[in-house]
Amino acid sequence: MKIPCEQIKDSELVLRSIQDSDNYFCLYHRYEKQLKRYIKRISNVQEEEVSDILQESFIKIWKNLNNYDSDISLTSWIYRIVHNQTISHWRKLQSFGKSNNVSYETYFSNSITENSVDNKDEQTKKIQEIIYQLPINYQAVLILRFFENKNYEEISDILKIPEGTVATRLNRAKKAFYKITKTKNISFFD
C-alpha cells in the first residue's frame, strides 16, 4: 500500500527519494509552489525563467540529496539551493552579456508589474516597492521573514549567516524601510 505524499515527513521523504526516484515527485510537488513564489519575489524574471531556475534547482537538489545534512530543516536546505541558483542565474546572464548590463540590485529589485507575484492589494504593492529599494541583503531577510514566514534559524540556514547577523540585518532593514516611508511620506498604520 502506497502512503500519500502528504502523510510522509520530510526526513522520511528524503530517504524514500534516495531509495526510489519515484518518491522524488512527492518532494517536488510539496515544494514547487512556494519555491516558484520565492523565486518571483527575489528576482526580476519572466515566468519561463522562473521555471528554468526551479528546474535547475530541483536537479541540484536531486544530485545532492545524499549529502543533505539533517541538522538543518529540509525546507531551509532547499531554499538555500533555490536562493543560490537564482543568484547563479543572474551571474550567467552577466557573463554571457544577455542582461544588457543590468546590475545585481536591478535584477533583484523587481518592480511591481502585472507579472509579479500574484494579485496584491495596493498596500502590499507599496510595501514591496519599498523593499525592492533596499540593498539585496536587506531584501532577502525581509522577504524570507515576512513573506515566506521563516524564523531566524531558518533564515540563518538559508543564507548561511549566523542568527545574530539575521537579527542585525532585520533590524537595519526595518529601520531603512521606515526611513524610506518617512522620506516618501507613506504611512501603513493609519
Which grid cell is 184? 516618501
Residue pair 60/81 in contact by the 8 Å Cβ criterion:
yes
Q: Which domains does the chain have, with CATH numbers?
A: 10-183 (1.10.1740.10)
Residue pair 112/144 in contact by the 8 Å Cβ criterion:
no
| Distance between start and end Cα atoms, the chain | 56
pTM check: above 0.85: no
State the CB neighbour count (10 A cutoff) for residue 59: 12
Question: CB-hemisphere CA count at 13 Å for 127?
Answer: 14
pLDDT of 3 > 70? The answer is yes
Residue pair 54/36 in contact by the 8 Å Cβ criterion:
yes
Helices marked H in 3-46 — which ranges?
Answer: 10-19, 24-42
Task: Specify which of 28-37, 82-91, 101-110 reaches the highest per-range mean pLDDT.
Answer: 28-37
Per-residue model confidence (pLDDT) at position 107: 46
> What is the share, in percent, of the chain residues with pLDDT greater than 70?
83
